[in-house]
Amino acid sequence: MMLENISCIRCVDGIGKMVKNGFSAGGKQRYKCRICGITRLMDYSYSAYSFGINRKIIQLTKEGMGIRGTARFLNISTTTLLRRLLHIASSLKAPAIAKAKVYEVDELRTFIKRKDKLIWVVCAYERESRRIVCFATGRRTNKTLEVVLKSLRLAKASRICTDRLKNYGYLIKDTLHDTSRFATNHLERMHLNLRTHLKRLARRSICYSRSLALLNAVLKIYLWG
């Protein structure tokens, strides 16, 4: 029997209609789309399987809510939330980097697991679009900086603005490099936004990241989610 009032969430414009398709292991009625074949329940006992839960996780992460706070608000376990964050981040792609633009590159210091284990977040900020187009995390070495600078070279950046960290002098051509005063003001202001909105990046906080993978996931969701 076709259920006229239940449309498929996957099909474009909800053109697919759901029909009954047996029962779940818990005895609940399952439904199947006649067009794409997706199956689902109408009511899930566990909130983590509710429709739209990933979108709520993204919204709460971008609002700066912590792991335990988000888990309490959505009524799901912290373990499930951590897995979802990593899964959501893996599906996000960095924005396309426009060619021949002016970029600012700077580092933001944070820590992993404990406060003596320092990690730097190296970001590239495009002035025209006013967004961070790529970032890398790791130690403050040429290897970490090169991950970001390689992307900018491929984009044929017209100018790369940095502070006077000597490492940049070895990695950027003098014709492209700008170390003038206030050259990275826009990116430094963006870093202030990150520290304000994401508690794990605050200078004096106990809400630090326990793993580098989770730090990368939260940054991807905040910047590109």
Question: What value does the mean pLDDT take over residues 192-218?
Answer: 89
pLDDT of residue 4: 47
The CATH number corresponding to 102-210 among 1.10.357.10, 3.30.420.10, 3.40.50.261, 3.90.25.10 equals 3.30.420.10
pLDDT of residue 142: 95
- Alpha-helix residue ranges (DSSP H) falling in 172-211: 185-197
pLDDT of residue 152: 95
Taking 3-state DSSP, the helix, strand and coil percentages for the chain, each rounded to the nearest 5, stand at 40, 25, 40
- The first and second tokens of residue 5, run together, are 């009032």
Mean pLDDT of the chain: 88
What predicted TM-score, i.e. pTM, was given to this entire model?
A: 0.78
Place of tokens 């414009």: 13
| Residue range(s) occupied by CATH 3.30.420.10 in the chain | 102-210
pLDDT of residue 1: 43
- 120-133 pLDDT per residue, tens: 999 999 999 999 99
Alpha-carbon distance 93 to 21, whole Å?
35
Residue 3 confidence (pLDDT) above 60: no
- 11-66 pLDDT per residue, tens: 766 567 778 888 887 788 888 887 888 787 776 666 777 778 899 999 999 998 88
More reliable by pLDDT, 5 or 98: 98
- The first and second tokens of residue 214, run together, are 């989770």
